[in-house]
Amino acid sequence: MKKIKNKGFMLMETLVVSTFVVTTLTILFVQFQKINRNFDITFTYNTVNGLYATNNIHNFIKQDVPEIVNELEKSSVPYLDITSCPTYITRQEYCKALMTSLKVKKVLFTKEDITDLKENIKENTEIDQKLKDFIKYISDAKNDNYRLIVEFTDATYATLKLENEV
């Protein structure tokens, strides 16, 4: 008589346990995915070596390229690509040696407020997609300072805010 009343108990128990297991696995997967994404970002964006190299480029610009701000103001785009050491840089050979030794793929000099830069790069074909993603990752600032954005050959990226001293 007891077995007749408990006919659906095993089915119900199976459904509850499987729902619990699936929910737990889904939550674990989502959390692991977030941790993995953040892990990848910390090993790609603003690494210690990248920030150190970007600071070296900043020191070079501060000493040898005092008119870079004027060049940026004259530019039709909201950044200057100084990777190839343009003509307004006086010590061309040193600049090229610095870029080579730091394994730099691209250096952008821009204003700290990169809202215009984010809009400009959408259609820009000279900037690859991973660098565009890094630029989108950078938090906006509304200051009158400047910023260096550097892409390295090992697929890492760094940015450094520069004071108005440039």
- pLDDT (tens place) for every residue of the chain, 166 residues total: 455 566 667 888 889 999 999 999 999 999 999 998 888 777 889 899 999 999 999 999 888 877 888 888 888 888 888 999 888 888 889 999 999 999 999 999 998 888 888 888 888 778 889 988 898 888 877 777 889 999 999 989 999 988 765 5
Domain locations in the chain as residue ranges: 2-42, 48-162
pLDDT of residue 6: 64
- The end-to-end CA distance of the chain, in Å, is 90
pLDDT of residue 1: 43
C-alpha–C-alpha distance, residues 109 and 107, integer Å: 7
- Decide the pairing of beta strands 104-111 and 157-162: unpaired
Say which DSSP state 88 is in. Answer: T
| Residue-by-residue DSSP string for 98-165 | HHHHTTEEEEEEEES--HHHHHHTTS-SSS-HHHHHHHHHSPP--SS-EEEEEEETTS-EEEEEE-TT
C-alpha–C-alpha distance, residues 160 and 99, integer Å: 16
Q: Is the separation of the CB atoms in 155 and 165 below 8 Å?
A: no
pLDDT of residue 3: 56
Q: Is the separation of the CB atoms in 51 and 149 below 8 Å?
A: no
Residues contacting residue 118 through CB under 8 Å, at least 6 positions apart:
135, 136
To which residue do tokens 């700290």 refer? 112
To which residue do tokens 């390229």 refer? 65
To which residue do tokens 């501060």 refer? 62
pLDDT of residue 150: 95
